[in-house]
Structure 1
Amino acid sequence: MTQFDIQAVTPKIRRVTFANPPVNVVGADTVAELSEVVDELGRDEQIQVVIFDSATPGYFFNHADLNQFAELLTQTAADSTPLFIDLTQRLTHAPFITIAAIRGRTRGGGDELTLAFDLRYASREHAIFCQPEVATGVLPGGGGADRLSLLLGRDRALEAILTSHDFDADRAERYGWVTRAIPDADLDEFVDDTAARIAAFDKAAVLGAKALINRATLPPEAHLRASWAAFTTSVTWPGFQARGPQFAKLFAEVGVEEVERNLGHYLGAAT
């Protein structure tokens, strides 16, 4: 593992820390490694709760790594399911509870991975959320449209996806994008206490309750597959091909760090 560090908090709790500096983009290598992490954790029957966080200041799970875009589009699991969709499904149905401790920017494919976690607690001061795909000329294909529609409702999902704006943690909480926004100084303690409380309960009851709620609240896998197929088609559209050079120019003129910090703003400036 080069991007993920797994630490045993207790026999029942693990912490998985993501680091792909400088801005935690999600590449094909990220998806492959995280898939291995989920497999490894799933084989340990003692594990009941897994906390996911980031070691890169200012970023949680960021958008796709465009340098690995072609490989991301073609990665598949053993049954030929797109690996990204397979990973989000295995996270959602994992034999443990997943908790995201979100500090920093969470966008695009990184947000779609985060939406697959069971509980999402966001730093009120430092968490930012965005689905930037439409502004770049493509469709959100990793479950963003499917999951946000169920969590936010139709109109707010349309607002989030069609505007490609950055949303702060307070608005994300009001919309239902995250479970709760927590003052940054209290985030770690709150997440740790929540994990310890859940880990103290009977695992069969915890996972049984998760299965019941999954059944009532998740998008069908067929919809996720269809969204991925639409996304891969949209990559060939003229709009995406035309916007690529515009964003390359923007990064060169303004600087990668500045654009990444305020991507929601610059997405509008590049159109």
Structure 2
Amino acid sequence: MSDSPLRYERLTPQTARVTFTHAPVNLVVGATAEQLAGIVDDLATDQQLQVLEFDSAVPDFFLNHFDLAHLADFPPADAASGREVWTDITIKLTAAPYITVARIRGRTRGGGNELALALDLRYASIEKAFFGQPEVGTAVVPGGGGTERLPRLIGRDRALEAVLTSQDYDALTAERWGWVTRALPDAELDAYVDGVVARLAAFDGTALATAKAMVNRASLPPEGDVVAAYGEFLHTTTLPGYRSRAGAPLPTGEQALQLEYHLGAFLGQAALRRAATPEPESEARQ
């Protein structure tokens, strides 16, 4: 597998695909944001593209959370819009005239889930797809639009549960709540998504783009709210709650891999252990 965290393929004049390839767990790193931003900007002037699909080549992980240990490696804000790069990517994809389709197998969390929420259609494997916003469990807040887009899809109370508890949710729950467009048996996922992509690619591109823009008017959060969320996320990374957790020793090897497989459960267990262990007096006073 290439060192690149993703690859881009033009499949036909009307269709293209972005595949996430950042093994072993598809963390979002600076290079992910940089390459994806370049692809989105290049496609802004493409008059033929009608469908951009997203999938993963990493088993069990579609697109994961940010690698917070290397947040400083993320590209600077977009020069034209002034928006932080991940915010800029998600806003541009949502507003793009082409239709974006996710073929989701594996864990889809944090920034990865926020990218998926910014896409138009999300199809998930019942057996293999899981979703979550784990930020609060690490003493930060979602910054890529999760707190703005998720309530509009699943309602305020369910969004609060998902964000505040940092749990993982299976694909059937996600479908029932409206988090994904449709959940399908894994053996049927490819044929179904291939059919949707082929159907959209055969339609009139102008009609597709116009219909998407009309639905966007009725359903999207204000861009200013999405922009503000990233600033609030960055601020929480400077606070004592996050710094104390970031300074703790991190698991490595197989233990680190298992943590990513079961992140929602781990965060809850770690919080309960932390609450049961009295802080040293010097830390409690900070």
Q: Would the TM-score normalized by the shorter structure come out above 0.5?
A: yes
CA distance in 1, matches of 2:185, 2:43: 29
Cα pair 1:58 1:126 within 8 Å, conserved = yes
Judged with a 3 Å threshold, the aligned counterparts in structure 2 of structure 1 residues 12 and 254 are, in CA distance, closer, same or farther, namely: closer
Structure 1 residue 78 corresponds to structure 2 residue 79: yes
Which consecutive aligned stretches of 4+ in structure 1 deviate over 4 angstroms post-superposition?
none
CA distance in 2, matches of 1:21, 1:233: 29
Name the counterpart of 1:262. 262
Name the counterpart of 1:14. 16
Q: Deviations over 1:67-97 (max 9, x none)?
A: 321233x720013211111111011111210
Name the counterpart of 1:46. 48
RMSD between aligned residues: 1.6
Helix, strand or coil for the counterpart of 1:191?
A: helix
CA distance in 1, matches of 2:186, 2:254: 29
Name the counterpart of 2:176. 174
After superposition, where does 1:90-239 map in structure 2 within 5 Å?
Answer: 90-239=92-241
CA distance in 2, matches of 1:10, 1:134: 41
CA distance in 2, matches of 1:128, 1:211: 29
Unaligned runs of at least 5 residues, structure 1: none
Helix, strand or coil for the counterpart of 2:241?
A: helix
The TM-score normalised by the length of structure 2 is 0.90
Cα pair 1:28 1:75 within 8 Å, conserved = no
Judged with a 3 Å threshold, the aligned counterparts in structure 2 of structure 1 residues 253 and 33 are, in CA distance, closer, same or farther, namely: closer
After superposition, where does 1:15-30 map in structure 2 within 5 Å?
Answer: 15-30=17-32
Q: How many residues align?
A: 268
C-alpha deviation, 1:133, in angstroms: 0.5
CA distance in 1, matches of 2:205, 2:54: 19
CA distance in 1, matches of 2:207, 2:145: 28
The TM-score normalised by the length of structure 1 is 0.95
C-alpha deviation, 1:65, in angstroms: 1.1
Aligned AA (1:96): Y
Q: Percent identity?
A: 50
C-alpha deviation, 1:254, in angstroms: 7.0
Cα pair 2:97 2:212 within 8 Å, conserved = no
Helix, strand or coil for the counterpart of 2:226?
A: helix
Judged with a 3 Å threshold, the aligned counterparts in structure 2 of structure 1 residues 253 and 44 are, in CA distance, closer, same or farther, namely: closer
Residue in structure 2 matching 1:36, options 32, 35, 38: 38
Cα pair 1:75 1:84 within 8 Å, conserved = no
Unaligned runs of at least 5 residues, structure 2: 272-286
CA distance in 2, matches of 1:240, 1:90: 30
Helix, strand or coil for the counterpart of 1:60?
A: strand
Q: Deviations over 1:100-129 (max 9, x none)?
A: 000000000111111111100000100010
Q: Deviations over 1:30-67 (max 9, x none)?
A: 11100111122333211100111000001011000123
